[in-house]
Each structure stands twice: as C-alpha cells, then as structure tokens.
Amino acid sequence: MSSSLAQVGGRTFASVRKHRNYRLYFAGNLVSFTGTWMQQIAASWLVLRLTHSPVLVGALALCQLLPVTAMGLFVGTLIDRYDVRRLVIRAEILQMANAALLAALTIAGVVRVWEVFALAAFQGIVGAIDAPARHSLVFQMVGPEDLANAVSLSSSLGTMARVLGPAIGGAVVATAGEGTAFALNSLSFFAILASLWSMDVSKLHRPGKSEESNVLKGAVAALSYVRHTPRATVAFVVVFFLATFAFNFNVLFPLIADRTLHKGAGTFGVIAAVFGAGAFTGAMINAFRAVASVRTIILGAVGYGALELILAPLHSLIAICVLLFFIGVFYVLWGTNALTTIQLAAPPHLRGRAASLYFFAFQGGAPLGGLFAGVLVSWGGTQLAYLIGGAVSLASALWGIWFLSSRADGSDMSVESVAGFAHALHRPSFRLARRTSAEGRAELDATETLADPLE
C-alpha cells in the first residue's frame, strides 16, 4: 500500500522530483503567488474603504486586466527574442517595487485612489509580460516530456494561492491593515527571485532566439501558427469562448451567495473554497496523467458546460457546492491542457508567443466577459448567466469536434492534419508534418513522430 502511494506521489510530482530548477521555482512560486492574492484582496478592500463604491472595486480589476487585452498578442515576440529567465527576474523586481511603493503610501496614510489605480495598471502591464514569460520558462526547465505535469503542478499552486492568499490577506487586513498586506506581498517576491537566481542555467532547454524585430509581424506569425495548427486552433478558440463567456466566477460567486442563496460573505467564502478544492483536484489528476490532449480539452468543456446547465436553477447550498467542486475539476481539464497543447504544438522559436496567446485567450476577453455576466444577472439572475455559460461551453466543444473532423480529409497538406475525432481516439500515433508561419511558413527541419493529439 505504502509503495503504491509512493509511486502515485512520485508520478504526480515528477517535475519536482526530476528537475532541480523546477523544484526551486515551485517552492518560490508557492510563496509569491500567495502574496499576490493577499494584495488583490487588500487592494479591493482599500478602494472600498476609500470610496465606498462597488463600481470602483470592479474598475480596479479592470485596470489589471486591460493590459492583457491590449498587449497579449504582442508580448510573445519580446519573450521569444530575449533571455526568458532574465526577463522574468526583471518583471518580478518591478512587481516587488510596485507592491513596496503601495505599502509605503498606505502605511504612511497618504495613499489616494488614483494612485491605487495607477499602480494596479502598472502591475497589469508587467503581469501581461511576466505570466507568459514564466510559462515559457517552465518549458525550458522541464522540456517537452514533463511539460504537462509541470503545467498542472503550477496550476495547483495557483489554485492553492487563490484559497490561501485571500484568507491570509483578509486576516492581515483585519488585524494590521492593508499596508501590511502590501508589504508582505513585496517581501514574498524574494522567494521567487531567490529560486530564479539559484537556477542552473546550463540545464535549461533554451531554444534559438527569434530574430523577429517587429512586434506586429511577430503577432501575425503567432496567429498564423494557431490558424494552421488544428490542435492549437481548438485549444485557443475553446479557451477564449469559455474564459470570456462561461468563466466569470469573480462576478458570479458573490451574486450566488447574495441573490440566489440570500446569504452573506461566509457563504461566498465557502463557495469559493469548494470550487478551489475541485480545481486543485483537477490539477492533481492532470499532474498524475502527465498527458496533454485535445480530447481532454473537449471532455473538460463538455463536463464544464453540462454541470453549469444543471447548476443554473439550483437554490440549495449543498447541491451548488457539490456541482461547483466538479465544475472546478473540469475547469482545470480544459484550462491547463489547452496551455500545454498550445506550447507543445509550437515550434521552438514561437513558444513564447504561444504562451502569450494562451493568456490572451484566457484573460483578454475578461473585461467584456465580466460586463456580459453582470448584464445577464441583471436580466435573469445567476440562472440565466449559468445557462448561457453552459450553452457556450457545449457549443465550443461541439465546434472543436466538428473542426477536427473536417480536417480529416488531408486536403491541406501544408498544415498539421488530424485523422478525424472518432477515428483518432483509437489510433496509437501518426506522422505529423508540422509547418510554421513566419511570413513564408518555413518547413521545420524534420517530420516528427508525435503521440496522437487526441490521446
């Protein structure tokens, strides 16, 4: 029994066990992510205390998300051009300084609302570069073999931080004030910086640097890669539509507690924690499987959408919590598998742009999605919002199946072909002649034998 558990644990945490660089990164991020979520809750509370306006609290989140919408298609060119590790170090230092400045202003009692918004916007700009750069660095730390496992473990860190960070942040704000929470977040960056400085750079899987100097052409090349790679196309489109129209829990969770269940902040905390537990479970399942696939993305979207449709009319806290747990599981199945699929399908010189495209798909439509969710709730309550979200999820999954099946005839030999959804479920492997587009779609050096993209 103990040996079986040890094998499961060894497989689940394979990236941590096998790669010292990722082990350092994993430990540093656990501290840093928690500090970041502490600041999120403290900043929202600070704006509410200064203005007494829920609208401005929502606008604060908008300040942090709009840079991803504006920059998401273009920052990947910078990531592919420069040393990713050094880029991440500089981004983390800037975010540490940003948190320290906000802490100093708040503790001194001189902070103004416009300063909070300005610093939030700066954090969003730096974060728009930092997030895809970190995931590009994860690939360099573990290589293609362990990428699915590493991405899933990183997702589990984010999920844990979403639960721990607000809980710790709320306690710190209540006992010592918002400024102390900002100061603790600033100090937390030393953990990730120490891990980055301690890495053995000789062990990184570094691709050749991109020579693309024009960010607009770089963005066009990245979009062309997605357009001409069916797996990446499905991953990108499914994530964009689900994240924009079906994943607005930051808006919907408080409204479920208040308007659907007629409860208070305690119920909101329970709902968020249950969803987080489901997401953590999904991340562990993904880490154990260590296989990224389009089939799992589609399965995740189907399960996610179906459960949202079942959730829509419910008014029982227990039933809602049970469904939200499994919705959290399916969310990670489509979310993390999409990131891994987009990165693995990309040629080496486009991997930074591939990561930035994922974050554009996941967060670029968030400002529109949050507004859309709010309008739906005002028209028909959370029931309407979840009905629309579930329908969009199922429609996206069905589109993905149709899209892959329609590419089964092999008529376009310049792009990666997929041998039909139903047939590919049973094929062990096939040859993929991958091509990339950097204006001329230069053919890759060799045709690779890859695992079936739907396996």
366-396 confidence digits (pLDDT tens): 778 877 887 888 888 889 999 999 999 999 9
Report the range of poorest mean pLDDT among 100-109, 249-258, 328-337, 390-399.
249-258
First to last CA, the chain: 29
Q: Cα dist. 400→92, 99, 239, 405, 455 in Å? A: 37, 41, 11, 9, 15
State the number of CA atoms in the 13 A half-sphere of 270 facing the CB.
Answer: 15
Question: Is residue 214 within 8 Å of residue 439, measured between CB atoms?
Answer: no
What mean pLDDT comes out for the span 48-62? Answer: 78
Q: Is 212-455 in the same CATH topology as 1-202?
A: yes
What mean pLDDT comes out for the span 218-246? Answer: 91
- Reduce the DSSP state of residue 452 to 3 states and report it: coil
**Residue 343: what pLDDT?**
84
Question: Is residue 165 within 8 Å of residue 41, measured between CB atoms?
Answer: yes
**Residue 377: what pLDDT?**
83
Q: What is the pTM of this model?
A: 0.75
Q: Which residues contact 169 (CB under 8 A, 6 or more apart)?
A: 37, 38, 39, 40, 41, 42, 181
**Residue 16: what pLDDT?**
92
d(CA 233, CA 412): 15
pLDDT band at 439 (very low <50, low <70, confident <90, very high): very low
d(CA 325, CA 243): 18
Write down the domain spans for the chain. 1-202, 212-455
Beta-carbon count within 10 A of 431 CB: 9
**Residue 55: what pLDDT?**
67
Q: Which tokens belong to 391? A: 């329908």
Mean pLDDT (the chain) is 82
pLDDT at 313 over 90: yes
pLDDT band at 9 (very low <50, low <70, confident <90, very high): low
**What single letter denotes the amino acid at residue 56?**
L
**Residue 4: what pLDDT?**
52
Question: Is residue 358 within 8 Å of residue 226, measured between CB atoms?
Answer: no
Q: Is 82 exposed, middle or buried (0-12, 13-18, 19+ CB in 10 A)?
A: middle
Beta-carbon count within 10 A of 42 CB: 27
- The topology (CATH level 3) of 212-455 is Growth Hormone; Chain: A; (1.20.1250)
pLDDT at 101 over 50: yes
- DSSP calls for 379-434: HHHHHHHHHHHHHHHHHHHHHHHHHHHHTTT---TTS-----HHHHTT--EEEE--
Beta bridge partner(s), residue 448: 432
**What single letter denotes the amino acid at residue 10?**
G
Question: Is residue 281 within 8 Å of residue 327, measured between CB atoms?
Answer: no
d(CA 81, CA 95): 22
Architecture of the structural domain at 1-202: Up-down Bundle (1.20)
pLDDT at 45 over 90: no
- Reduce the DSSP state of residue 438 to 3 states and report it: coil
**Residue 152: what pLDDT?**
84
The candidate with the shortest Cα–Cα distance to 351, out of 215, 196, 209, is 209
